[in-house]
Amino acid sequence: MLISCGKCGKRYSVNDNRIPQGAVSVRCPYCEASVPLSASRLPEKKHKESELDETFREKSESAVERVFLKNTASFGGSIVFRLFMPFILVVLTVTSCILYSYFFSVPKLIEDQINQRAFALSRTLSSAISQPLVLRNYLAVNQSAALYAELPGVAYVSVQSRDGSLVTGLFGSMDRFDQNFARDVLARGFPVEIVHMNPIPEKATVSASNIIVGGRKIHDIGVAVRGNSGVVHVGLFMDDIDAAIMRSLRPLVAVIVLIFVAGAMGIWWVSSSLSRPLKKLTRTTEAIALGDFDKEVQIHGKGEIMDLALAVESMRIAIKSAITRLKNRQ
């Protein structure tokens, strides 16, 4: 029977069997005040017991319904999803920032290196042919130009005289150019219009420009020969920039993939170590909800999951003891 003290406000339960027959009041164990009893406590007891039974039955039915509908839960509510999604978002964000910074800065650095190489080749070639060009020793000029044209990555080398006429023009590798362009070069020789695509401004000694020759993007450097006796043009393939970017990108991609795989394996291990005992604990609580109070909670370990398992085991024992007492009273 549930009794409420009007003086101290305490509420507590009293066993009806321990109340003397015909008693009209009981003494509060907290403040020693007299608490009057209702004249119809037995019907009230039955009424409250019926309400408790109805409430327990409704909650039990609701628990059973949740047990049978558990398989409809979406993957989005699982521990694996909750751990993997933030990790994937972080990895994608960091990877995007790294790749953006990489493609924003590295191509410029590589292009600058190609520009420096083309300038160095043009400068050294102009120094090597300055005297033969003045002496009109075009055979020596052609031999020096041929040596530079054979270097890796060199598209072409050309030399102009003081009056702008083409002294020599040699391509490095015709296999990298368009086939139609290669046939025209073999038929007509070095195209003169190439040297006019990157003219050196007046009162300047160097000019750099990216041009298209034979379907290929070329970085052309024009350098005036000492004494203004002519102009040297050296063209380098820009395709090498893309190849260099991809080669330098491979280690970075490998590191990112390694970090992602290691992180995914770590998260999978953590989620598995959490989900396995939780699923086992869920099956035990479902059995308790279905009325199997003899199924013990068998989870070993430590930490919060073990504390939860001990709490469920205490609940199971308490429910089983309460049911046993109810059966004994009947």
Among candidate residues 181, 185, 176, 184, the one with its CA nearest the CA of residue 155? 176
Average pLDDT over residues 170-196: 90
Is residue 297 within a helix (H) or strand (E), and if so which, with residue range? none
Q: Could you give the 3-state DSSP secondary structure of residue 133? A: helix
By residue range, what is the domain housing residue 179?
81-245
103 or 46: which carries more pLDDT confidence? 103
- Residues 88 and 204: their CA atoms lie apart, in Å, by 54
- Residues 267 and 278: their CA atoms lie apart, in Å, by 16
Give residue 236's pLDDT: 92
**305 located within any domain:** no
**268 located within any domain:** no
Tens of pLDDT, residues 184-212: 998 899 998 998 899 888 888 899 999 99
User: b/e for 70-105, b at 16 or more Cβ within 10 A?
Assistant: eeeeeeeeebeeebbeeeeeeeeeebeeeeeeeeee
Give residue 278's pLDDT: 81
**165 located within any domain:** yes
Is residue 71 very low, low, confident or very high in pLDDT (cuts 50, 70, 90)? very low
Number of domains in the chain: 1
CATH number at residue 216: 3.30.450.20
Is residue 330 very low, low, confident or very high in pLDDT (cuts 50, 70, 90)? low
**132 located within any domain:** yes
Tens of pLDDT, residues 75-127: 555 777 788 888 899 999 999 998 888 888 888 888 888 889 889 999 999 98
Of the chain, the percentage scoring pLDDT greater than 70 comes to 79
**216 located within any domain:** yes
**235 located within any domain:** yes
pTM of the model: 0.55
Please check whether residue 257 is in contact with residue 264, taking contact to mean a CB–CB distance below 8 angstroms. no
- Residues 147 and 132: their CA atoms lie apart, in Å, by 15
- Residues 78 and 83: their CA atoms lie apart, in Å, by 9
Query: How does the average pLDDT of the chain come out, rounded?
Result: 80
